[in-house]
Amino acid sequence: MSLLRSLLFVAWIYLGMALIAALYAPWTLFSRAGARAAMRTWSRLVRIGLPIAGIKLIIEGRENIPEGPALIAMKHQSMFDVTIPPQILDDPCIVYKAELSSTPFMGFYLKRGRMIPVARETQAAALKAMLRAARAEVAAGRQMFIFPEGTRLKPGAPAQYKPGVAALYRDLSLPCVPIATNSGLYWPAKGLVRRPGTIVVRILPAIAPGLARDAFMRELEARIEAESDALAGVRRTPAAAEAL
């Protein structure tokens, strides 16, 4: 039964993606507003379809998102997580893996939406390019959104926070809002099967700007990992907990 519901849900989201991509393409060719609208519509369509797979969604802590520019850093466990920025932010600027630029539909909309690609194989040059682009988008009033680990990891897996989030925090001098989730329990990073349950996205209080790099990274990782573990029911060994 779970497999059948999962297959129906996968068909729902990918057929919906293709339809939305086709409908919004002419608008998007002439205006970034078209890309923004397409991403919001697809995010809404995914949320509407969650009950097909027996999944509910709860988003907590919206009041912790500040007005104006900010840096938003979210735990990444599932493809579902990419639907969150349009649900909680008016005009998010998402930092994403450069290889996604070549994917059907998504690549076109990421480029037209003025999201920021990062080529991980050229770290120093990639960081400089990311920061240049981020400064311009923040100056335009947008909020930066990043998955600080850069890839999807199973609930409870060892954290792998990358330097990009620290570079943005230092360079932009913005508050950083951590976001925890348990999405990987019900929408795994790999495979077709979705499991019934409740995805919780918990938006945490912002970390004020101005911390030293190492102090910021420790604080960000500790907050996100502790809350994500709690949501997923993960208990780490004392050694693993001390490593956060």
Q: What is the DSSP string of 126-180?
A: HHHHHHHHHHHHHHTT-EEEE-TTSS---TTPPP---THHHHHHHHHT--EEEEE
Q: Is the pTM of this model over 0.75?
A: yes
What tokens were used for 40?
């919001």
The model's pLDDT over 43-71, given as tens digits with 9 standing for 90+, comes to: 999 999 999 999 999 999 999 999 999 99
State the amino acid at position 35 in one-letter form: A
Distances (CA, A) of 94 to 7, 51, 72, 153, 241: 28, 27, 9, 19, 29
Q: Cβ–Cβ contacts within 10 Å for residue 1, how many?
A: 7
Separation of CA 116 from chain center = 13
In a domain? residue 49 = no
In a domain? residue 105 = yes
The model's pLDDT over 138-159, given as tens digits with 9 standing for 90+, comes to: 999 999 999 999 889 999 999 9
The domain that holds 97 is classified in CATH as 3.40.1130.10
In a domain? residue 150 = yes
Across 117-131, average pLDDT: 79
In a domain? residue 36 = no
In a domain? residue 214 = yes
3-state secondary structure of 92: strand
Distances (CA, A) of 63 to 1, 27, 105, 110, 239: 38, 32, 32, 27, 34
In a domain? residue 231 = yes
Q: Give CA–CA dist 143/36, Å, rounded.
A: 13
* H or E element, residue 32: helix 32-49
Instruction: Determine contact, residues 9/194, Cβ cutoff 8 Å.
Output: yes
Instruction: Determine contact, residues 220/178, Cβ cutoff 8 Å.
Output: yes
Q: Give CA–CA dist 70/178, Å, rounded.
A: 11
Dmax (CA) for the chain in angstroms is: 55
- Which pLDDT belongs to residue 118? 87
Query: 80: domain range?
Result: 55-242
Q: Give CA–CA dist 173/71, Å, rounded.
A: 9
In a domain? residue 173 = yes
Kindly indicate the confidence band of residue 212, based on its pLDDT and cuts at 50, 70 and 90: very high
Indicate the number of domains in the chain: 1
In a domain? residue 11 = no
Residue with tokens 């998504």: 106
- Which pLDDT belongs to residue 1? 64
